[in-house]
Amino acid sequence: MYAKRSRNIFDPKSKEPFQISRSKIELYTNCPRCFYMDVRLGLSRPSTPPYTLNSAVDNLLKNEFDLLRKKGEKHELVEKYAIDAIPFSHPDLPKWRGEVTAYVGALVLDEKSNLMVNGLVDDVWQDSQGNLVMVDYKSTSTSKEISLNDEWKQSYKRQIEVYQWIFHKLGFPVSKTGYFIFANARKNLPKFDGKLEFEMSILPYEGNPDWVELTLLEIRELLNSDAIPAQAPECEYCAYKQKSAQIVKSIKEKL
Ligand code: SF4
């Protein structure tokens, strides 16, 4: 049943750093109102069922890359794309991935906004210059060519950029180029046989995380404010809420 949250709500009177996740930064970018309702008022969006198939693919890819991490070897797909990187070994990697209880990913304090920013990475590679390379796994099923051009995939780009910003802030040299590994499930096979077949590809992305610090300052300003931001005009959910409230009201008035 839906209930207002009582924990992890921003308190404007507190001087303690407030923790904010990569996905909450994304929520703010999409709609400051939804972000405010969630983080300041404890009214988060209703939950959706977990993407278990995507998680299964993520785990399988992590296992595959972990085997090579131990040996310090390059993955054959990375070889095929002539990418200069091997899986990065670091004792904190399980924490950065959220595999250790009580750790919420890579975590760093932004002193200017007094926000602790955390992000759960899928993988980190290292190039031959010693720079860390941010990597995210994506599962899909499409007959279209895989690209990063769709409007909704701009969030993928911001995801990589937040990771780049976090790891730079943690003191690591970070490559501007991040990578998405796409696992594309083929859907035009004549028979299922209880098996999914994936076409694997890698797309590079040249990130620019300069926007992150400014956005964190905007977020802090919004959280300190008592004014609830306006809704995003193009959002169908708020339009649905308003329309349904209007219709229910008019029906009640007729009774
Ligand atoms: S406009 Fe959409 S995203 Fe914004 S508060 Fe309403 S439901 Fe949330």
Q: How many whole angstroms from 223 Cα to the centroid of ligand 1?
A: 17
- The average pLDDT across 125-139 equals 98
Q: Of 69-83, 100-114, 232-246, which gets the smallest average pLDDT? A: 232-246
28, 30, 31, 39: residue to mutate for ligand 1 pocket, most atoms within 8 A of CB: 31
8 Å CB contact between 90 and 124: yes
Summary mean pLDDT of the chain: 95
Q: Which atom of ligand 1 is nearest to the CA of 33?
A: 5
- Strands 132-140 and 18-21, how do they pair? unpaired
- Ligand 1 midpoint to CA 229 (Å): 10
Distance (Å) from CA 232 to ligand 1 centroid: 6
Q: Is the CB of 54 under 6 A from ligand 1?
A: no
Å from CA of 69 to ligand 1 middle: 42
pLDDT of residue 2: 87
Q: Is the CB of 235 under 6 A from ligand 1?
A: yes
43 CB near ligand 1 (under 6 Å) = no
Ligand 1: does its nearest atom lie under 6 Å from the Cβ of 33? yes
Strand arrangement of the beta sheet that strand 18-21 belongs to: 18-21, 115-119, 106-110
- Cα separation, 249 vs 96, in Å, equals 49
* Mean pLDDT, rounded, for 27-44: 96
pLDDT value, residue 71: 95
Q: What is the pLDDT of residues 63-97, one digit of tens each?
A: 999 999 999 999 999 999 999 999 999 999 999 99
Question: Where are the strands (E) in 111-209, listed by range?
Answer: 115-119, 123-126, 132-140, 177-185, 198-206
Locus of tokens 């993520």: 58
Ligand 1 contact, 237 CB (< 6 A): yes
Element (H, E) at 19: strand 18-21
